């Protein structure tokens, strides 16, 4: 069976399995169903929904393969991966130099495969009167200088100082967001906050007094259930939350842009990023299921999981580059 903690796409997965079982081997990247063994996949909670659905489709064709998919965070995932404890590491950011070095110490040369795109989405309660947040606003709410701010309006002066819009309401500020183990945390800082942090000689970290959660569903629940709640998650979680949350438009200097598939593809949404899987090539010889699983992941049926769980598909040329990277690694 496929073990996973993420449950938001259970219905989608069931439908996808039926479709995968009915597809032909060439289109699906499927096997003859005689594979046995197990796969251990960990890492990004953002990528976890994609990989979980791919795993369910794959297992429908290969019931003898046991697959565990977990999402403790990109950084924690790479630690396990570089120690040789997992076959694949899901990641919502590219691997860092120090992580490559840690892998190299154990003789692992990770194979990087881009699988999709994401609109990192800032979410709040639908009752919030604010519709758009600038990078300056985000710094004033989430950055290290906002420690101690308990009301949105506490951030107004700092927002004005760093080029934000401000005009925040006098309402309690309740932030639930990912922690340092998360690639989403790192991406949010790198894309939206790091420039201001460097200008003001501040540490590249979020304010220390917010509630940290590695569970994206908890972050969504805070935004949906707390009148002035605030957080940020991957696009899939924000979209699957429906109207229970507000998805703030973001102004990265070119005007307010709403998070959407269209705006990720055309490059106008300012907090877009790539999503990856990393494969341990050393495991290929000892694990007969690993190569076929990655083949399936990159097949038409497998990669369709990206959009089925509400992330954004790679443009055709980048998908072909990902497939070529994998083919080159196993040649």
pLDDT in tens, 50-109: 999 999 999 999 999 999 999 999 999 999 999 999 999 999 999 999 999 999 999 999
Start-to-end CA distance of the chain, whole Å, equals 30
pLDDT (0 to 100) of residue 33: 64
Instruction: Select from 311, 330, 331 the least CA-distant residue to 114.
Output: 311
pLDDT (0 to 100) of residue 331: 85
Determine whether domain 121-270 maps to CATH 1.10.357.10. no
β 111-119/272-279 pair status: antiparallel
Confidence class of residue 31 from pLDDT cuts 50, 70 and 90?
low
pLDDT in tens, 293-304: 999 999 999 999
Q: Please, which residues have CB within 8 angstroms of residue 216's CB and are 6 or more apart in sequence?
A: 45, 46, 178, 233, 234, 237
Biggest alpha carbon–alpha carbon distance for the chain:
64
Check whether 28 has a pLDDT greater than 50: no
pLDDT (0 to 100) of residue 26: 37
pLDDT (0 to 100) of residue 323: 98
**Domain ranges for the chain:** 2-116+275-330, 121-270
Shared fold status for 2-116+275-330 and 121-270: yes
Q: What is the pTM of this model?
A: 0.87
Please give the Cα distance from 122 to 120 (Å, whole number).
7
CATH number among 3.30.70.20, 3.40.50.2300, 3.40.190.10, 3.40.50.620, domain 2-116+275-330: 3.40.190.10
pLDDT (0 to 100) of residue 1: 46
pLDDT in tens, 64-79: 999 999 999 999 999 9
Inter-residue contact 122 to 76 (CB < 8 Å): no
Check whether 193 has a pLDDT greater than 70: yes
Confidence class of residue 25 from pLDDT cuts 50, 70 and 90?
very low
Question: Hunting for tokens 């989405």 — which residue is that?
Answer: 121
């Amino acid at each position: 069976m496929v073990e996973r903690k993420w449950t938001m796409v259970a219905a989608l997965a069931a439908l996808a399995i039926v479709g995968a079982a009915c597809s032909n081997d060439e289109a699906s990247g499927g096997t003859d169903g005689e594979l046995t063994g197990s796969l251990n996949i960990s890492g990004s909670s953002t990528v976890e929904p994609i990989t979980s659905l791919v795993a369910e489709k794959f297992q429908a064709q290969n019931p003898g393969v046991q697959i565990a998919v977990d999402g403790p965070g990109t950084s924690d995932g790479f630690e396990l991966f570089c120690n040789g404890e997992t076959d694949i590491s899901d990641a919502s950011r590219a691997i860092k130099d120090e992580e490559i070095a840690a892998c190299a110490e154990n003789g692992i040369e990770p194979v990087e495969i881009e699988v999709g795109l994401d609109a990192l989405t800032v979410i709040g309660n639908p009752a919030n009167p604010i519709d758009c947040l600038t990078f300056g606003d985000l710094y004033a709410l989430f950055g290290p200088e906002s420690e101690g701010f308990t009301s949105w309006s506490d951030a107004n002066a700092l927002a004005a100082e760093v080029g934000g819009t401000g005009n925040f309401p006098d309402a309690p500020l309740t932030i639930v967001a990912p922690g340092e183990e998360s690639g989403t945390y790192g991406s949010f800082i790198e894309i939206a906050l790091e420039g201001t942090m460097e200008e003001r000689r501040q540490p590249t970290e979020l304010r220390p007094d917010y509630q940290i959660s590695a569970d994206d569903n908890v972050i969504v629940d805070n935004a949906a259930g707390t009148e002035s709640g605030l957080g940020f998650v991957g696009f899939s979680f924000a979209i699957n939350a429906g109207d229970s949350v507000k998805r703030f438009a973001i102004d990265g200097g070119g005007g307010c842009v709403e998070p959407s598939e269209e705006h990720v593809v055309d490059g106008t949404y300012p907090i877009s990023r790539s999503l990856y899987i990393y494969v341990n090539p050393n495991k290929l010889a000892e694990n007969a299921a690993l190569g076929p699983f990655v083949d399936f992941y990159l097949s038409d049926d497998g990669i369709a999981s990206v959009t089925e769980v509400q992330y954004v598909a790679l443009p055709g040329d980048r998908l072909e580059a990902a497939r070529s990277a994998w083919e080159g690694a196993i040649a």
